[in-house]
Structure 1
Amino acid sequence: MNLKRFLLVSFLSISTTLRVMSQETSYPIIPKPAQLESMPGKFNWYKNTVIRNGAGISFTDATKELQQITGALKTTTKRPNFILIKKDPSITAAEGYKLVVEPSQITILAANKAGAFWAISTLKQLIGTPAFKVGTGAYVVPAVKIADAPKFAWRGMHLDVSRHFFDLDYLKTFIDRMVLYKFNKFHLHLTDDQGWRIEIKKYPELTSKGAWRKLNGQDSVCLKLAKDNPDYALPEKHFKTINGERMYGGFYTQEEMRGLIQYATAHGVEIIPEIDMPGHMMAATKLMPWLTASGISQQGVTFSEPLCPCKETTYDFAENVLSEIFSLFPSKYVHIGADEVEKDSWKKSEECKELMKRENLKSVEELQSYFVHRMERFLNSKGKKMIGWDEILEGGVSPTATMMYWRAWVPTAPKHAAEKGLDMIIMPGEYCYFDAQQDGGSLKKVYSFDPYNYNLTKAEEKLVLGIQSALWTEYIPSEARAEYMLYPRTQALSEVAWSNADKNWAEFEKRMNAQYPLLDAMNINYRQPDLTGFSPKSVFVNQTVLKVINPLASSVLRYTTDGTKPTVNSTVYNGQLVINKPTQVKIAAFRPNGKIGEVYTIDYDQQSYAKGVSLAKAEKGLKFSYYPKSYKLVTQINEADKKSDAITTAIEIPVKEQATTFGTKHEGYFYAAAQGVYTFYLRADDGSNLYLNNKLLVDNDGLHSAIEKSAQIALDKGYHPFKLLFIEGGGGYTLSLEYVGPDGQRKAVSAADFAHE
């Protein structure tokens, strides 16, 4: 295919599958381009490489970005090569671009500035680590032809700067990394109970006092965790002495925010501000308690006391604040939150009762909608569009609003919103809340996200503007901790948000593994991919060999057997370690820059094969019991709470109308088809315990996000007493059980594995 013909390729075929070659490693680009054709040769980018703008349009910001990249180069040459940025009217896809790298020339074709920036992001990834190191001699760019455009127009990342403050320099770095992975919407959560971060000139105390606090309970948790992990330490730069007291916090002046907005805009990123109301307002109500229905700023039963929707002073305050936000942020969108509203004080307020009667409102949910509708009318009158969390559906909602879907345990919300004609941004917590703790399955979970999987029709799918991540920072006080929680899940979500190419987890994983050196070059404190091939609770009968699968060849594994944490001086793992006595092994991966990954503790126990039991009459399936109560631990499940029972084929919950919180029990016998060591993998959200042979094998108890834990046991062939306890604490659940038997194959448990009498 010659260059002219390639440039005329229609974007109608943009969704075709990327041709599979060795491209996942030769061109490890994330997100995956829709069309990529490898070519022979390479382009050598020197300091005197000429950057040209084609006729018809000036890509000033894109040109500056290329010049900034060039500035890192040291050597020069007289070789006449150049980079051309040119407008291409034939590109009709929004934000689409074409990138052609030849030995003598790089050509960037785009319809607008955004497309040019995404081409440059691809170019940086093609260069690789040298693009992020000062003093590089020359860049080597592999020859290639790429045609690409995004799947979704809204590709967002969210950062909560209220719970813990992040300064402007880091926000610019945050934006740079968004751009590299083609995110274009920066949702900035500026206010909450814990701190008010944006200057409001009409109410200067919101930042002079509301931006600073004495250490709270969440800060104390972080300080405790910091004893073992310095990423949890509160940054000293965010402390200040005010009136003789040491206070923690910070805020942005309006002038500083204008500078950040200008920086973001120049890089193709739109900043969407969030001023959360009527709930999550304690930073303001502590200073102005008359804004609440009770006249007191306090914590309610579940959340903080909200603004009162029945007082005109509330609307005066809200409109004054938002007016300054409107003049500051050019985005047409403003997020008002409207989630997690504690309504008890509204029920007791005489003013609210009068308003509800006057407006014919039948519930406090409708009263919240009254507030939301009134604020939306104000936004619309100023040319702005309102975004709210999916609670805005409760009590009625305007079709002109945009809904952010986050409550995974309300799976009907997107369909409900679509039927009302609402634009939607889909970001359910189970996939998109990156403050949730990670384990070996987290990255694949994010990559599997399908934002259309909510019973939407093809017409309703058009209402999905896109997706975004969320990073709530109650327990994320530092930049290092934020990065650890964001990466590499950010890369997986970027591919879901952008790529029109077919998803392939194994191929993505190869490209992701090739990206880690690039993250090292950017000094990102990412979570390293898991070491696998073992269980933290391992057993052997006579002796065994520890075999560890290391996904990154450039990482060095080091271990100890004396109970201490591995260091860069610990023994190097050479591929296998013979275990012939009870031993504790601690092992970790070290990157070339010395950064350590997760430390894995493996406790080896010597066991004999547990004998099976005889069953008088073995029936397929497990006995199932259901307990519709709230428990914090599976060990609290009480037989007196049991409401129903059944027989299940495997691990399922056969209850059509489930309570918000409940417990379950599966009980019977596991059939070991052959003598050997069995490894069980229990993934649960919330808690779950696995008992085998009447002993606790896997302890995954407590209220938590989806976490996998595993353990081994030596079993003789036959039936073994089995019990699985589970609790759901609200917010949607995960429960799965897999195992590896003597055949070495990991698989989900099935009906063939279980029996009951």
Structure 2
Amino acid sequence: MWKFFRLTGACCLLLHSAFAQSQRYPIIPYPQQLVPQAGTFDITAGTKLVLPADAAAFTPATAQLEQLFTRALGKPLAVATKADKGAIVLQQNPALAGAEDYTMEVTPQQLLITAKTGTGFFRAAQTLRQLMPPAIETATGKRLAKIAIPAMQLKDHPTYDWRGMHLDVSRHFFSITYLKKFIDLLALYKMNKLHLHLTDDQGWRIEIKKYPLLTTQGAWRTFNNQDSVCMKKAIDNPDMAIDEEHIIRKDGKTWYGGFYTQEQMKDIIAYAADRQIEIIPEIDMPGHMMAAIKAYPFLSCSEETGWGKDFSTPICPCNESTFTFAEDVFTEIAALFPSKYIHLGADEVEKSSWASSPACAAVMKANNLKTVEELQSYFVKRMEKFFNSKGKVLIGWDEILQGGISPTAVLMYWRAWVPDAPVQAARHGNKVIMTPGNPLYFDGTPDRNSIYNVYHFEPVPKGLTPEEATHIMGAQANIWTEYIASEKRADYMFMPRMTALAEVLWTHRPDYEGYLQRLQAHYKRLDNLGIHYRLPDLDGFTEDNVFVDKGSLQVKKPLTDMTIRYTTDGSIPDAKAKVLPGSLTITRPDTIRLAAFSPAGNRGDIYTLRYRQQNYLKATVVKDAFPGLQLDYYQGAFKSATAIKPMADSSLRVANVVIPEGMGKGGGAFGARIKGYIQVPATGIYSFYLTCDDGGILYIDEQEVVNNDGWHAPVQKSGQVALEKGWHPLQVAFVEGGGGYTLRLEYSINGGKLQPVPDEWLRSAR
């Protein structure tokens, strides 16, 4: 027994020590090596800064440090030439292996940073910045008498070279000010690539001097169906409202849009370069070109515009005028962007107009092309040769595999339902950037699982040898903005889950609990930076709640300085709404809306909680039942779980509420009904959490408990049911629209811990 207590005590001490270390060194991404030391190095207005011998080569990093010290202390640090006691010393270290490598040795007597290049010094500056109080992020905040940096020995370097974020500025446009704010945030978390999606059907956003109509016409549109969805959602969520600064009224019409001149883009590129971030432009061809075709109709095979079976009409790869246009555009793009990479897109191409074009038939015959997929490859390879002539490397979405890929193209993998694509490309010798839709499409509405899913993403796909894995350059997350119409909404969609990706790509060493503890210290910093981040999820309720005699709403606050406000009249909680007490008693059916607020006034998710009274549902008798559940499979596309056809195409047994691997092979649409019985071990109120991509509905005792229906990205919905101990009929209706499925069922009882439904609770009739 004494041995048990000693072990328990030792574990508690280890946990306490890990928590204390996370609080003392709240760095994201966490360094590769950090050895804590006793004491602190105190920075005051009298601290001296010693620069490397060739100081001019490291100006961006030293300027960043001086900016931080000026904001914190009220003035920059004096520069000295001698590394005396009490100084911050920057030394060049040619012995370090990589351009981003750095070391930091902090003692009470000195703070020594070494790096091989200015990039390494800049990365070190971000680590030092995160060790400073969040107050330094406010330009008008109270000046500090000193800044205490905890002592340590630190060695750091990135695991992956490509640590990226993508931003689509075509579907909805973003200001230069916002782009710079976005870049600043990438730099803070040691991301190094910004992929700008500059053109698409909905708008052309970069000036091309030889083709002025691309922006005078192609950059503007009247409100489309995506805008109308955003406006409808803005009624309940103001963050969905379209930013007014991108709306103009002209010729009696309302127009949405905007573009960057080449001079403006040069300024953005230089701003990013000073922060060690490379901007990669994407001009999407041959599909996603409606904005360009409307301005210059000769680009399509028969001057038609509009939509085909699946996607918009593409440009025609069978007319020389198309290649003249493309080469003219990319000549200006290549001259404007210093990056060695240009992204051609080449995804989601509607090829039906090519198949019916006499010109394309002639080109295919002349070049011995058998399919329109090979015709797309012909276009991509020809453009790649042109890129190469400009000293550039072509990147394309993973569809460039179709019809054949050149050995020098870089593949960007996004179609999670085609898991072999990155494996094939890497084995072919192509470089690969991982950006699968699940979990790295950040336009998917985040839920309580989003950060976990990103943090546990593995950049190297299964099936590659260590040598083949070297072709994986890294990864990035994508922000497609069809339904992200404001800067606030963009902030919400990618923060803080980008910090999880930053740690995956830089450190690549799982420490999820430590990461969550360190993340706590970053919310105040994000508040001070004016980031409209998504606040941590609230717990203690579901969307549909039940009570038997009376209920109690007790919300668990993940951040102690949160304020939770609520309304009962259907209005959206604002800063003037009532503060939720520690326990709110529910005695009648009601609807409560609540939201958390940070000290800076940042509002979190708006939760709508419905309460209804229910008696415990009676248990049923189950005899001769098998372990597991019956899954009925229905081939076809069903946009709702209620629309699944009555007759199944096949049936099989599953251990739990899961979709077996390989079902809907190739990314096809299908429906499924999973049915049987659930045996609950005690009478109580059970909360169920159904995560679906695309949609699903959970029924217990033939009552709808969770409705997560429709085609959508992975999202979790929840509901409650009062159950008597014993067996209860269970059914989950699920639909997959094509592209990759997710289905998971979890539960909690009487407000307890969320956990998977155990296999042993589930049975199905013989």
TM-score tier after normalising by the smaller chain length: over 0.9
Residue-by-residue CA offset, 1:304-352 (whole Å, 9 max, x unaligned): 1111111111111101110111111111100000000000000000111
Residue-by-residue CA offset, 1:36-82 (whole Å, 9 max, x unaligned): 12233333434454332122554111111122223324557999843
Q: Determine the structure 2 residue equivalent to 1:535.
A: 542
Partner letter of residue 636 of structure 1?
Answer: A
Task: State the alpha-carbon separation in 1 of the partners of residues 712 and 590 from structure 2.
Answer: 30
Which of 477, 484, 487 in structure 2 is aligned with 1:479? Answer: 487
Asked if 1:90 is matched to 2:89, the reply is no
Partner letter of residue 68 of structure 2?
Answer: I
SS at match of 1:276: strand
241 and 649 in structure 1: CA distance in 2 versus 1, 3 angstrom threshold: closer
Asked if 1:627 is matched to 2:634, the reply is yes
Is residue 36–residue 144 contact of structure 1 (8 Å, CA) maintained in 2? no
Q: Determine the structure 2 residue equivalent to 1:128.
A: 133
Q: Determine the structure 2 residue equivalent to 1:691.
A: 699
Q: Determine the structure 1 residue equivalent to 2:10.
A: none
Task: State the alpha-carbon separation in 2 of the partners of residues 65 and 655 from structure 1.
Answer: 49
SS at match of 1:228: coil
Alpha-carbon shift at residue 604 of structure 1 (Å): 2.6
180 and 94 in structure 1: CA distance in 2 versus 1, 3 angstrom threshold: same
Asked if 1:513 is matched to 2:520, the reply is yes
548 and 667 in structure 1: CA distance in 2 versus 1, 3 angstrom threshold: same
Alpha-carbon shift at residue 85 of structure 1 (Å): 1.8
Bigger shift: residues 234-243 or 612-621: 234-243
Show structure 1 runs of 4+ deviating over 6 A. Answer: 76-80
Asked if 1:497 is matched to 2:505, the reply is yes
Task: State the alpha-carbon separation in 2 of the partners of residues 116 and 735 from structure 1.
Answer: 45
Is residue 540–residue 751 contact of structure 2 (8 Å, CA) maintained in 1? no
What TM-score, normalized by structure 1, do the two folds share? 0.94
Bigger shift: residues 72-81 or 95-104: 72-81
Partner letter of residue 748 of structure 1?
Answer: P
Asked if 1:109 is matched to 2:114, the reply is yes
Asked if 1:141 is matched to 2:148, the reply is yes
Residue-by-residue CA offset, 1:663-699 (whole Å, 9 max, x unaligned): 0011121112222222211111111111111111111
Residue-by-residue CA offset, 1:336-384 (whole Å, 9 max, x unaligned): 0000000000000011111111111111001100100110111112211
Q: Determine the structure 2 residue equivalent to 1:597.
A: 604
Which of 677, 688, 698 in structure 2 is aligned with 1:680? Answer: 688
746 and 224 in structure 1: CA distance in 2 versus 1, 3 angstrom threshold: closer
Asked if 1:70 is matched to 2:69, the reply is yes
Q: Determine the structure 2 residue equivalent to 1:650.
A: 656
Bigger shift: residues 546-555 or 382-391: 546-555
Alpha-carbon shift at residue 620 of structure 1 (Å): 2.2
Partner letter of residue 646 of structure 2?
Answer: E
Asked if 1:356 is matched to 2:355, the reply is no
Q: Determine the structure 1 residue equivalent to 2:190.
A: 182
Bigger shift: residues 726-735 or 712-721: 712-721
655 and 447 in structure 1: CA distance in 2 versus 1, 3 angstrom threshold: closer
Which of 739, 742, 747 in structure 2 is aligned with 1:734? Answer: 742
Asked if 1:637 is matched to 2:656, the reply is no
Task: State the alpha-carbon separation in 2 of the partners of residues 654 and 511 from structure 1.
Answer: 36
678 and 475 in structure 1: CA distance in 2 versus 1, 3 angstrom threshold: same
For 1:306-317, what aligned pairs fall within 5 Å after superposition? 306-317=314-325
Residue-by-residue CA offset, 1:182-214 (whole Å, 9 max, x unaligned): 011111111111111111111111112211222
Partner letter of residue 406 of structure 2?
Answer: S
For 1:335-354, what aligned pairs fall within 5 Å after superposition? 335-354=343-362
Is residue 108–residue 151 contact of structure 2 (8 Å, CA) maintained in 1? no
Task: State the alpha-carbon separation in 2 of the partners of residues 711 and 572 from structure 1.
Answer: 24
233 and 570 in structure 1: CA distance in 2 versus 1, 3 angstrom threshold: closer
Q: Determine the structure 2 residue equivalent to 1:441.
A: 449
Q: Which runs of 5+ in 1 are unaligned?
A: 1-18
Residue-by-residue CA offset, 1:702-724 (whole Å, 9 max, x unaligned): 11111111111111122111111
Is residue 19–residue 514 contact of structure 2 (8 Å, CA) maintained in 1? no
Q: Determine the structure 2 residue equivalent to 1:27.
A: 25
SS at match of 2:503: helix
Q: Determine the structure 2 residue equivalent to 1:568.
A: 575
Q: Determine the structure 1 residue equivalent to 2:592.
A: 585
SS at match of 2:206: coil
SS at match of 2:295: coil
Which of 270, 293, 309 in structure 2 is aligned with 1:262? Answer: 270
Task: State the alpha-carbon separation in 2 of the partners of residues 725 and 244 from structure 1.
Answer: 49
Bigger shift: residues 553-562 or 210-219: 553-562
Q: Determine the structure 2 residue equivalent to 1:558.
A: 565
Task: State the alpha-carbon separation in 2 of the partners of residues 562 and 295 from structure 1.
Answer: 54
Alpha-carbon shift at residue 523 of structure 1 (Å): 0.9
567 and 246 in structure 1: CA distance in 2 versus 1, 3 angstrom threshold: closer
Which of 43, 50, 53 in structure 2 is aligned with 1:45? Answer: 43
The number of residues matched between the two structures is 737
Task: State the alpha-carbon separation in 1 of the partners of residues 703 and 45 from structure 2.
Answer: 68
Percent identity, please: 47
Is residue 422–residue 461 contact of structure 2 (8 Å, CA) maintained in 1? no
Is residue 193–residue 283 contact of structure 1 (8 Å, CA) maintained in 2? yes
Is residue 46–residue 73 contact of structure 1 (8 Å, CA) maintained in 2? no
Task: State the alpha-carbon separation in 2 of the partners of residues 181 and 248 from structure 1.
Answer: 33
Is residue 416–residue 437 contact of structure 2 (8 Å, CA) maintained in 1? yes
Alpha-carbon shift at residue 104 of structure 1 (Å): 4.3
Bigger shift: residues 583-592 or 409-418: 583-592
What TM-score, normalized by structure 2, do the two folds share? 0.92
Task: State the alpha-carbon separation in 2 of the partners of residues 225 and 654 from structure 1.
Answer: 35
Q: Determine the structure 2 residue equivalent to 1:236.
A: 244
Partner letter of residue 107 of structure 1?
Answer: L
646 and 382 in structure 1: CA distance in 2 versus 1, 3 angstrom threshold: same
Alpha-carbon shift at residue 655 of structure 1 (Å): 7.3
Alpha-carbon shift at residue 428 of structure 1 (Å): 0.4
Alpha-carbon shift at residue 596 of structure 1 (Å): 2.0
Residue-by-residue CA offset, 1:143-194 (whole Å, 9 max, x unaligned): 2332111010111111111111212222111111110000111111111111
Is residue 700–residue 731 contact of structure 2 (8 Å, CA) maintained in 1? yes
Is residue 434–residue 471 contact of structure 1 (8 Å, CA) maintained in 2? yes
Is residue 49–residue 80 contact of structure 1 (8 Å, CA) maintained in 2? no
73 and 674 in structure 1: CA distance in 2 versus 1, 3 angstrom threshold: closer
Alpha-carbon shift at residue 618 of structure 1 (Å): 2.5
Alpha-carbon shift at residue 564 of structure 1 (Å): 4.0
SS at match of 1:475: coil
Is residue 47–residue 71 contact of structure 1 (8 Å, CA) maintained in 2? no
Asked if 1:414 is matched to 2:412, the reply is no
Partner letter of residue 608 of structure 2?
Answer: T
50 and 503 in structure 1: CA distance in 2 versus 1, 3 angstrom threshold: same
Partner letter of residue 690 of structure 1?
Answer: L
Asked if 1:214 is matched to 2:213, the reply is no
Bigger shift: residues 232-241 or 273-282: 232-241
Asked if 1:712 is matched to 2:720, the reply is yes
Task: State the alpha-carbon separation in 1 of the partners of residues 685 and 441 from structure 2.
Answer: 36
Task: State the alpha-carbon separation in 2 of the partners of residues 457 and 437 from structure 1.
Answer: 34
Bigger shift: residues 666-675 or 64-73: 64-73
Residue-by-residue CA offset, 1:620-655 (whole Å, 9 max, x unaligned): 222221001100001000123x21012222223347
Asked if 1:201 is matched to 2:209, the reply is yes
Is residue 187–residue 271 contact of structure 1 (8 Å, CA) maintained in 2? yes
Asked if 1:297 is matched to 2:305, the reply is yes
SS at match of 2:521: helix
Which of 339, 349, 353 in structure 2 is aligned with 1:331? Answer: 339
Is residue 408–residue 428 contact of structure 1 (8 Å, CA) maintained in 2? yes
Task: State the alpha-carbon separation in 2 of the partners of residues 743 and 232 from structure 1.
Answer: 32
Task: State the alpha-carbon separation in 1 of the partners of residues 286 and 68 from structure 2.
Answer: 45
Task: State the alpha-carbon separation in 2 of the partners of residues 206 and 27 from structure 1.
Answer: 49
